[in-house]
Amino acid sequence: MQILIFAPHWGSNELAPQAFIERVLEAGFDGIEMSLPQEPVARADWLQRIAGAGLGLIAQQWETVFHPGFEAQRGALAELLHNACSARPLLVNSHTGKDYFTPAQNRELIELADAIGAQYGVTVLHEIHRSRFSGHPMLLLPYLERLPGLRLTADLSHWCCACESLLEDQPETLAAVLPRVRHIHARVGHAQGPQVADFRAPEAQQALARHLHWWDEVVALRHAAGAERITLTPEFGPVPYTQTLPYNGQEVSNAWELNVAMLQLLRARYGRDRA
């Protein structure tokens, strides 16, 4: 089973496309996870550069966050997913629904996403994320029961924040969720937030160990299922995910540096192939 590790474009948006791609190549990532431009010329330019560099692509759609109403979000989701899937990425990671939509509304959005993915032959995954339909374990579980085909991106740092814990008290929940995971956002959260200041610091080691335990379990489950690959994206983000010092606003850590350090940790832990 291949272990593929992707670089997040989030946090590097200020870089020109080729400068970012060169940064990704220098660090040793296998590909890029990003939201593609909707403008056709800019999107084609990105796709040509990514392919020319020999990198893989995971497409994102997160912009539905700007559409708080159900009807507006349904229309935006369809447009954004057609844009993402038409690029024929390895997969699409979608921020789907809202925690305040009804279960029927969220199911409609999930089913719409799956239908668009099927139209292009692209897998659409739904990210575990605060404020989405999956923002808390007890919100997600009923969807798992009703939708046996639901597949997830695991960013469990969000649940650490939502549940004010490292989920030590929810083994049954994790046992139900982790088999549905097909992609991992490898960010380390803690009981009071979705991102530790630096996962290498002594005070972050308990949180790091918990996240590694979850990621190990997903990798083992996918290997046992005979999967061709598992994908991971280190996703430490910029301010306000990156903490700042009071009064002067100086960042206490560098998100790109953390993502490269996490790439190195994951590569040392999992290698490139799981025989």
Residue 228 CB-density burial (10 A; 0-12 exposed, 13-18 middle, 19+ buried): exposed
pLDDT band at 238 (very low <50, low <70, confident <90, very high): very high
How do residues 210-229 score in pLDDT, each as one tens digit? 999 999 999 999 999 999 99
Tell whether 122 is covered by a domain: yes
Tell whether 184 is covered by a domain: yes
State both tokens at 27: 């660090």
Name the DSSP letter for residue 66: G
How do residues 240-269 score in pLDDT, each as one tens digit? 999 999 999 899 999 999 999 999 999 999
How do residues 103-139 score in pLDDT, each as one tens digit? 999 999 999 999 999 999 999 999 999 999 999 999 9
Q: What is the pLDDT of residue 147?
A: 97
The CATH number given to whatever domain includes residue 17 is: 3.20.20.150
The per-residue pLDDT of the chain, averaged, comes to 97
How do residues 35-53 score in pLDDT, each as one tens digit? 999 999 999 999 999 999 9
Look at residue 275 and tell me whether its pLDDT is greater than 90. Answer: no
Look at residue 93 and tell me whether its pLDDT is greater than 90. Answer: yes
Percentage of the chain beyond pLDDT 70 is 100
Radius of gyration of the chain measured on its C-alpha atoms? 18
Tell whether 51 is covered by a domain: yes
Tell whether 144 is covered by a domain: yes
pTM of the model: 0.97
**Residue range(s) defining the domain that contains residue 91:** 2-270
Tell whether 125 is covered by a domain: yes
3-state secondary structure 189-257: CECCECCCCCCCCHHHHHHHHHHHHHHHHHHHHHHHCCCCEEEEECCCCCCCCCCECCCCCCECCCHHH
Q: Are 262 and 5 in contact (CB under 8 A)?
A: no
**Please, what sign has the CA dihedral across residues 268, 176, 90, 254?**
negative
Name the DSSP letter for residue 123: -
Q: What is the pLDDT of residue 258?
A: 98
d(CA 214, CA 136): 17
Give SS3 for 154.
Answer: strand
Specify the number of domains making up the chain: 1
What would the mean pLDDT of 56-70 be, rounded to a whole number? 96
Q: What is the pLDDT of residue 274?
A: 85
Q: What is the pLDDT of residue 94?
A: 98
How do residues 146-184 score in pLDDT, each as one tens digit? 999 999 999 999 999 999 999 999 999 999 999 999 999
d(CA 214, CA 48): 35
How do residues 10-25 score in pLDDT, each as one tens digit? 999 999 999 999 999 9
Tell whether 275 is covered by a domain: no
